[in-house]
Amino acid sequence: MFLTRVGEDCTVVINGDVSQCDLDETSGLRAVLHLIKSQRLPVPVIEFTAADIVRSGLCAMWVRRLRRSACLNPS
């Protein structure tokens, strides 16, 4: 619904983390990102990685460890 309300000459910034989803089905954010990429829509997407974390070295360490753990033990 939100995407159908965007008007001409406006700027919309949506941020989120597709890894933080408690739904059993695919999240809306993940679905929209897939649509943008698969249909090559002219919508800019900026994706950050663990290398972009600037909070602290400790925070970056936890993110790396949690991602590694999730890869080894997918649910």
Quote the tokens at residue 74.
């997918």
In tens, the pLDDT along 41-59 reads 998 999 888 778 777 888 8
In tens, the pLDDT along 5-38 reads 888 888 888 888 887 777 777 788 888 899 999 9
CB-based contacts of 62, cutoff 8 Å, min separation 6:
none
Handedness of CA 31, 1, 23, 13 (dihedral sign): positive
Quote the tokens at residue 26.
């695919």
Quote the tokens at residue 18.
């597709």
By the 10 Å C-beta count (0-12 exposed, 13-18 middle, 19+ buried), 36 is classed as middle
Whether this model's pTM surpasses 0.75: no
